[in-house]
Chains A and B, each alone.
Chain A
């Protein structure tokens, strides 16, 4: 809970300060009587997912190691035409799921590729966006079964925990996701962003003897559904290539 508030407070501060800067700029422009609309920047925007970094740090400090997580993600987009962006993310993450009857760790790398559409009508000179996006995601990873219990409705005979460690490599999975997000220019060319995504697993290669409990890039898998949700909090920098008139 506190984690979430922390993310929100960071982002809200950014949003407010961004708006204030724009306000000042706007006033300047009025006094200068500049009637030409400002140019729009086109370029490559690259950043990192701060949510994943914070989660990694918090997971290290946390003694209650129910979910041990490490991960990072690099994200980028390129504005190709007006409100359309090509977008991609690459990352690496691992999660140890200590469930009541089974303990499995999933670790590996992933990539997502797709496009964003900015549905937000910016004011003059503003480069913020409220966007929707689609991605195709692909992941290669391993699953390690650390320990497990035989589930038995009768507890008459003691059920020992099996600690036989089984690591299965070169597993793959693919999925599609729908994204809803926001990106705000806080300082010149520096953006803070947040998005949520709904993901649907398309295919997965599972170990012979058990299942994928965590797919890097996709997230935790569910026993009864192939859907999952995810979120990203990003900080990114725009490298402008060209400026075009609106």
Chain B
């Protein structure tokens, strides 16, 4: 299955980006064979509003079955919940470390957004 991790860089050694909507990159990691691809999120940095919604839409279209990040706003959370995509807010350290933590089963999905709307 494809897990999306928000990232500051384009490979697994990059730091996890704590933001979702304005994350620099999305790493799409395939847990079945440990392969991955990278989605650049620059277009979102320019959006007027609804950045979280747009980002959520983007990863849904990319086939995400889960999202690991640091923070997620209410609108993005709403979209991801409606698409039955679990959101894990315990992303930290490098992408590699986060994936390992996820595989070890130490993460649990959040049941609410942890940032207010319009957050920076």
Whether both chains belong to one complex is answered with no
